Amino acid sequence: MKRTAHAFWLDRPGHGALREADLPEPGVGDVVVRALYSGVSRGTETLVFRGGVPESQHAAMRAPFQEGEFPGPVKYGYLSVGVVEEGPAELTGRTVFCLHPHQTRYVVPATAVTVVPDDVPAARAVLAGTVETAVNALWDAAPLIGDRITVVGGGMVGCSVAALLARFPGVRVQLVDADPARADVARALGVAFALPADARGDRDLVVHASATEQGLTRALELLAPEGTVLELSWYGDRKVSLPLGEAFHSRRLVIRGSQVGTVSPARPSRSYADRMALALELLADPALDALITGESAFEELPEVLPKLADGAIPALCHRIRYS
């Protein structure tokens, strides 16, 4: 029997559409997933939407089940939650998370899905991919009890990092963002908030996730001597200038990159599956609902993504609902 679905495609930078897709016949070890929700990660996906992936990073930026090539046509996305309609008995009927683009139904290997714990609502589980990024970042950063830590950039990734840091004993966390509305999100996550000019200095660690030159410069200014900036921002094809001729050397500051494409070398015994399972387990905390700031129907996605890209919809994670 022919199986069909509908998927969102970026036809060209700045313009997307829904297309019908023929699904392959599932093989042994495959699952058929009916989507319940997906999430738009405003930072990365809007960068892809505007065609901002540099050619040198086309391979590194591929999503697991991407079709097409950058800058387009391309089917891109990686935050999908659905129900297994067909597959192994232990998965059939279960709610699962998958790193799959926005699509109503899809066929993937059973090893590509992770069961959502019973105490995590499907509507919140769309955050799993971003919380996984935060987990990997904190494995890289290795914060210590009592550290003074600032997160610069109150977007989806920055807020996820701040939310996890709030659980560390004795750690004093401040979220810094230029948008005063992020104070409400910080309050929901249980962390302090400040505008950039009012941020506390003398920090042991600053996690930077604003994807702006100004944010990274401010992150360096906030460090204590010998402190580290953990850089999580993805700048795409943009160039960044930094004041490395000022106190950078005399204060022995460090800028370190972190990227979720590789499991942190600090945890060599952990697999990608281990990291994703941990992210989903952490999503049992209802405070993380503060990261979902809007919702639209799947059919509205071609009109919603341009508004997310130009800031007309000021979202952290924008959730997509499937009928």
pLDDT at 60: 84
Do domains 3-124+285-321 and 130-257 share one topology? The answer is no
Q: How far apart are CA 70 and CA 49, in angstroms?
A: 10
Between the CA of residue 154 and those of 161, 194, 317, what are the distances in Å?
10, 10, 12
Q: What is the pLDDT of residue 259?
A: 87
Domain range summary for the chain, segments of one domain joined by +: 3-124+285-321, 130-257
Tokens coding 37: 């929700």
pLDDT averaged over 10-residue windows placed end to end, the chain, 323 residues: 90 96 95 97 86 89 94 96 97 98 98 97 97 97 96 95 96 97 96 98 97 95 97 85 88 93 94 96 96 96 94 90 95
What was the pLDDT predicted at 47?
87
Peptide bond connecting 302 to the previous residue in cis, omega within 30 degrees of 0 = no
Cα dihedral 118, 122, 123, 124 sign? positive
207 DSSP β-pair partners: 151, 230
The pLDDT, as a whole number, for residue 117 is 97
Q: Which two tokens stand for residue 125?
A: 């589980």
Q: Cβ atoms within 10 A of the Cβ of 24, count? A: 11
> What Cα–Cα distance (Å) separates residue 86 from each residue in 107, 279, 290?
9, 25, 33
Right CATH for 130-257 from 3.20.20.80, 3.40.50.2000, 3.40.50.720, 3.40.50.1970: 3.40.50.720
Domain 3-124+285-321 bears CATH identifier 3.90.180.10? yes
